[in-house]
Structures are given as C-alpha cells and as structure tokens.
Amino acid sequence: MQRTQFGDMYCSIARTMHIAGEPWSLLIVRNAMVGTTRFEDHQRMLGISRKVLTERLNWLVEHGIFERRQYSERPPRDDYVLTDKGQELADILFAISAWGDRWTAGEAGPPALFRHRTCGELTHAEIRCAHCGEPLHSQDVEVTAGPGADPATLAG
C-alpha cells in the first residue's frame, strides 16, 4: 500500500482514507451494503482482476471492515461480511452518494435510489450536528486541536 503516509497523519480524514479511501475499497463496501458477500459476485460487479480484488479484500479484513465467515469447507470459501466498523463506514457512502447525485448526475438523474425502511420514503443523506440536529455546514464549524492532535502542533 502506498497510503501509509496518510495512516500516520494526525488527522481522522487522512486515517480514514488510508483504510478505506482507495476507490475499489469503497465500491466493495458499496456492494456489501446491497448484500454482496462473495468474492465471485464482487468480481463480476466490479470487473476487476482477481488479484486486485484479493488484495483489497485482504486489506479490508486486516483493517476490520469485513470479517470472513466460511460457507464451504471443501473447497474452503468465505463470505465477506461487514463488521460494525464496516457498517458505519457504509453509512458514509450515503453522504458521498448524496453529493455525487447532486453534483455529478446531471439530467440523467441519480444512478441509485435509497428507500429508508424506517420511514418508508425515498430519501438521501443529510449531515447533521449530533448536538442540535441542525445541518452541519463547514462554514458554521470552528475547528480546534483535539487531545490526539500532533504533539508538535499542540506544543506550538
């Protein structure tokens, strides 16, 4: 992996990109979100090489996004199932999709529609403040160093 530099940064965005920012990885998580669990199905949906898919799945298992569950002993075959960490990563995909639908879909409209079973309606994701519930816009947020900031920054 070439992303180690990002994993070492004092930044939760960089660290997330390190684990899951490679586009194929996010698309594997996307597939999992719609129920895909098997290597062959991921490969067919993505049209990537077995080698790349194997690397990506191993990486995502290693970083706790998927866990393997054996469904066949002979030959040995595993389902790849999202962990809790992976499920929460999948949730971010809705925020990414909402932006992509708004800014890249054009007149053709969104490639995918999302129905929220909780309310039954077609919907999209909104990013909201965990405290007040209002939309969280970057213009309205003040960013300061946290306890896990770069010690060099904190000392500065």
Binding to a second copy (CB under 8 A) within 34-73 occurs at 34, 64
Contacts of residue 73, Cβ cutoff 8 Å, sequence gap at least 6: none
CB of 51 to a second copy, least distance (A): 16
φ, ψ for residue 97, nearest 5 deg: -60, -40
Q: Which of 73, 74, 76, 103 binds a second copy (CB under 8 A)?
A: 103
Judged by beta carbon, residue 72 or residue 144, the one nearer a second copy is 144
What tokens were used for 50? 């077995």
Under the criterion CB under 8 A, does residue 155 sit at the interface with a second copy?
no
Own/partner long-range contacts of 82-86 (Cβ < 8 Å, ≥24 apart): 82/29, 82/32, 82/33, 86/29, 86/32, 86/60
Stretch that binds a second copy, among 16-24, 36-44, 49-57, 69-77 (CB under 8 A): 16-24
Under the criterion CB under 8 A, does residue 92 sit at the interface with a second copy?
yes
